[in-house]
Structures are given as C-alpha cells and as structure tokens.
Amino acid sequence: MSCWVEMMWLLKAFLLLSTLQFSVLGYNESAVNSRVDVSVLCPCVNGHCSKSDGSCTCKKGWTGVFCERAVPELICPGGCGQYGFCNVLTEKCACGFGYQGEKCDEPCPAGFYGLNCTNTCRTHCTSYYILFGQKKFIGCDKNSGMCNCNELYSYNRREFSRCKQQCASAGVKFSNCRTPCPPGSFGYNCKQQCVLSVGSDRECGPITGRSFCKPGYEGIFCTVQCPPGKFGVNCRECNRCENGECNFITGDCQCLPGWAGVSCSEPCDNGTFGQNCLKKCFCVNGKCDPASGDCTCSPGFFGPTCEEPCVQGRWGQDCAHECGCLNGGGCDPKDGECVCADGFVGAKCELPCPQGRFGANCSEECDCKNGGECDARTGECSCPAGWTGDDCLEGCPEGLYGEGCGLVCLCENGATCNPVNGTCNCTTGYIGEFCSEPCSDGTWGVDCANKCLLDCSNEGFCSNVDGNCLCKEGWSGNDCKQPCLRENDGCNGTVTFNVDDSGSSPHLILAIVATVFCLCLLSVIVVAIFGYKYYKTKYGNESSTTESVVSFAYKLSSPNETNCFLEDSNSDADE
C-alpha cells in the first residue's frame, strides 16, 4: 500500500515538472491540456484552478494560460519611473544606482550611494575641505561612491580626502576658477606675463601665452579688419546672414531694418519695425513699413497713422481718387463703387428708377393704381386728375376735381362735375359752361337739343325739361286751352295735369298728391256748409242769407306747374 502512495506522488511530481516545462518552452494550450489531467494536478503557477473545468484564475499582476506571465504595471501601480523596475516577487519597485523611494524618483541623500542608496560613502567623503579659505563639502558619487571635488577643480588621487589647491584649467583666476586672465597674462592662476612685439596690436592666449590678433583683425601688425563674411580670431567664416551682415568681431548677424533672427531670415511682424524688429509702430488702419515704420494705409483711410477715413467724394489708398457718382450718390471709400441715393441706379447712379420701381437700388415695387406714378425715392403715389388716396384707388369726392382733387366744381342746377377736368354734365333742361342757363323758349331736353312741338296757349309756355306746356293759373290741358271746370259746387272733382302719359315721372307723382289734397279740402268745405245750415235751422238763426264762398288755388312750384282754381257760392236754400 505504501508503495502505491509513493508511485502516486512521483506521478504528480512528473506532471508538475512537465507543466512547468511546457510553460517555459511556450507550448500551446491545447498541447498542455492534452497531456495534463486537471483532476489530478492544478497547473496554475500564480493562481488557482477551477474545480469544474480546471481553468486558471490568476493572481493580481499575472496573466497567461497558467498565470505564468507577469504584468508589472498591475503589480506596481503607477510604474517605477526611469530609475527602477518592478520586482514581481516582492511586488515593489527595485531602484537602480543612486535612487530610492517607492517610485525610485528620490536621489540618494548625502553620504549614501549604490542600489536603493544602501551603501555609505567613505568617511572622508562626508567631510569638507578648505579651498582658498572656504569650506567645500566633498560628498561621493551616487553610483561609484568616489569622493567629488568641484568640477572646476582637480583632486589629489594620492590624498583622496583632499582636493588640489588649484583650478583644473589654466587661463582663469584661482579666486573662483571662472574669471579669465586679464590681458597680458596667462597660465595657471594667470601668473605668467605675455611677451609681445613692440608696435604690434596682438594679444596672447590666456592658457598657452601664444600671441594672436584681436578678434576681427589680421595681418602682421593685426591692423587689417576681417573682410566681409569673416570674423573673430584669424578671421573665420561667418555663418550665413540672409538679410544682414556678419559682425567682423563677434560673428553675429547684424540684420538690416525689417529683419530679425539669428540669420536675419525672419521678417518683422506687423506692428514692429527697425533693426531686429525692436520698435513698435501704431498704424490704426494699415500696415507699417518694416524698415522705416512709415504707415501704408488701407484703402479708405489716410493720415500719419491711418486713423482718418476718406472724406465724402474720395476713395482708395490715401484717398487719392475722386468719386464720380451722380444724383447725390456716394462711393465706397475702399473700392470707389457708387452707392446710389434712393431712386437711382447705374454704375455712376446716372439712371432714374424705371417706372413702377422705387427706393434703394430701385428694389421696391410701386403700388399706384389708375395710372398713378410713384416717387422714385419714396414710392409715394402721384395720382392723375380725378383720383386720390395713397394708391390712387379713390375717385374725387363729389364737388371736387383735378390733380389731388384740389379744385372745386362750379356746376349748378344739379349738374355733375367731371372729376378729371371739371367740365359740367348738365341735367335735362339746362346748358352753359356751368349749367346755369335754362333752355331758351322753344327748346327742351338734354343740351336743349329738342324743339317744343306744342303750341301753348293762354300765356302757357314749353317746359325746358320735358317739352310739355306749363299753363298759367286757370288753364289746363296739353296746350293750355282748357279752363278749369266748375261742376259740383264749382269743381267737378278732377284736376287736369299736363303730364306726358308716355311714362311715370316726378310730375305724375306730384299730380296725384295734388288731387288727393283737393279732394280732402273739398270734403272739409262740404262738411262746413252742412254744419252751418244745421245750426241755423236748429237754433232759428234769422240772419240774412249767408253766402259761403269757398275758393282755393293750388299751385305746384315744380318745373311742370299745375294750376287749379275752385270757387263755390251758395245762397241759403230751404231744406
């Protein structure tokens, strides 16, 4: 039995080693699964197996089929910077030489060096040394641990704890190892003196003491200036200066006005000018010359700073051009294009709006009726004679005529007035310029064009309206030859009117009214007579015979006169 158990453990160990081997050699998942029985051994390196299917659930920071690949970004969140790396075993950043901290971003403090700053500098590196009377702390290199001397100084390798009391280079003063030797001296601490020929304009080098011409000069006596394009010691070639000249001493490009930059290749920005574009210009409506700073005004403006607009009638750059716009039109101060006044169009505003249009650029449409014309500027309608209203839709009121209906008609006798010219349209029976004259005797009708055909007797006369006879009082009939009849107490109860029976007319209506009136009046008279007789009989009035005379006359004041006179005389009669 114990032998069987040992064999099982050996089998598990073999399977585990096989799994690890497959993981290292990179065999695919299918190959591994075909060789491993997950029910016997879990192959997950950095995770645990699923009890159902044997798949791996990886720990944080691991991935892969068997959780065999590390993901440092997940193990060390935020990374370890440029001076460290993520240790997947400790799950922390491992810092390189000279740095420490959780993210390896902190330099080693004074006195420490090496990986994670775990090494201590040598004792003498933590002390200080005296250099020219000043304390200088040495410290050590963060990587190697070697003691540091100031970069401008050399150190004594034999006596490692001290730095040499001299500068690392000749040609500078010991006071700070930065100040160059003054002219005429050279060497360490500038202790050696230059030897120059008499009459020569040379200088000696601060390090070796060899003589040379001053920068910008050449020749035996160093009196010849470097030619154009060369500069400095030994007149070396200048760098290219595109819009300027090379300084013969320094080699710097000296730019022409309007240019800037190391090689004078950059033009001045708008608003600056001069050498190296250091000056500012103040052109309000324009650009300034990059060299001189003078303003170049935009079209439509003028003046030293281009702040003044062109006056009316001028346009263009510096307002040099004159507008040629007609009829009150102005022009655009920039391009000179005419801006026409209302009512005009054309390149020079020379054309009035065509009939039926008005306003700016003749863009509006008139709405005048009945031949009215509209004002090309305002669109206001000018109505022809006989019409009025905003759009000439209203005829002249009665009694007025002419343009604007401003004239008063003078027509009489009911005549109508022509609204256009004021001529009178006479009613029947009248003529004349103002219809003030009735037709002359013997004529009648419209324009008195008809002749009377009836012979009106007894001083009757022909009507100027309808041509019938108008009888004098007491006469009637078509020709006024019939006297008014006296029947039935002086009137036969009828009145004859001279009315043309060709049709109804106002005179017929008046005749009917007159007849009714006569009948009513006659009835009143009869009643009065019989009442009087009754009173006399009943009360025995013995007065003398009373004569009742009733008479009346009715006269129509119309043009067609009708006259009827009734008289009644009765003596007292016995009942």
pLDDT tens figures, 239-260: 888 899 999 988 899 999 999 9
Closest CA to 566 of 471, 472, 488: 488
Look at the block and give the residue holding tokens 């129509």: 556
Confidence (pTM)? 0.35
Predicted local confidence at residue 55, as pLDDT: 86
pLDDT of residue 407: 92
Judged by DSSP in three states, 10 sits in helix
Residue 294 amino acid letter: D
Distance of CA 521 to the CA centre of its chain: 91
Report d(CA 428, CA 414) in Å as an integer.
10
pLDDT tens digit sequence for 106-130? 888 877 888 888 888 766 565 555 5
Instruction: Return the closest-CA partner of residue 550 out of 572, 531, 565.
Output: 565
**Residue 401 confidence (pLDDT):** 92
CA dihedral 424, 430, 432, 437 (to 10 degrees): -130
- Mean pLDDT (the chain) is 75
Element (H, E) at 512: helix 506-539
pLDDT in tens, 301-332: 999 999 899 998 899 988 999 998 999 888 99
Pair 129, 155: CB distance under 8 Å? no
Confidence of residue 210 (pLDDT cuts 50, 70, 90): confident
Residue 405 in 3-state DSSP?
helix
CB within 8 A of 563, min separation 6: which ones? 471, 472, 473, 474, 475, 476, 484, 553, 554, 555
Q: What does the buried/exposed string (b/e) look like for 75-108 if buried means 16 or more CB atoms within 10 Å of the residue's CB?
A: bbeeebbebbebebeeeebebbbbbbbebbeeeb
In the chain, the percentage of residues whose pLDDT exceeds 90 is 15
Q: Which of 43, 68, 71, 39 is nearest to 53 (CA)?
A: 39
Asked if 35 contacts 18 with a C-beta cutoff of 8 angstroms, the reply is yes
pLDDT above 90: residue 273 = yes
Taking alpha carbons only, the member of 213, 28, 303 closest to residue 205 is 213
> In this predicted model, what pLDDT tens digit does every residue of 554-565 receive, in sequence order?
333 333 333 443
Alpha-carbon gap, residue 265 to 284, rounded angstroms: 27
**Residues 6+ positions from 10 with CB-CB distance below 8 Å:** none
What local confidence, expressed as pLDDT, does residue 257 receive?
A: 93
Q: Both tokens of residue 157?
A: 């390798």
Q: Which residue would you say has higher pLDDT here, 213 or 226?
A: 226
- The residue among 56 and 70 whose pLDDT is bigger is 56
User: What is the CA 78 to chain-centroid distance, rounded?
Assistant: 52
Beta strands in 132-290 (DSSP E): 134-137, 153-155, 163-167, 185-186, 192-193, 202-204, 211-213, 217-218, 224-225, 230-231, 236-237, 244-246, 253-255, 259-260, 266-267, 272-273, 279-280, 286-288
pLDDT tens track for 466-481: 888 889 888 888 888 8
Of the candidates 39, 77, 41, which has an alpha carbon nearest to the alpha carbon of residue 60?
77
**Judging by beta carbons within 10 Å of its beta carbon (0-12, 13-18, 19+), is residue 530 exposed, middle or buried?**
exposed
Give the C-alpha separation, 391 to 1, whole Å.
Answer: 129
Pairing of strands 69-70, 84-87: unpaired
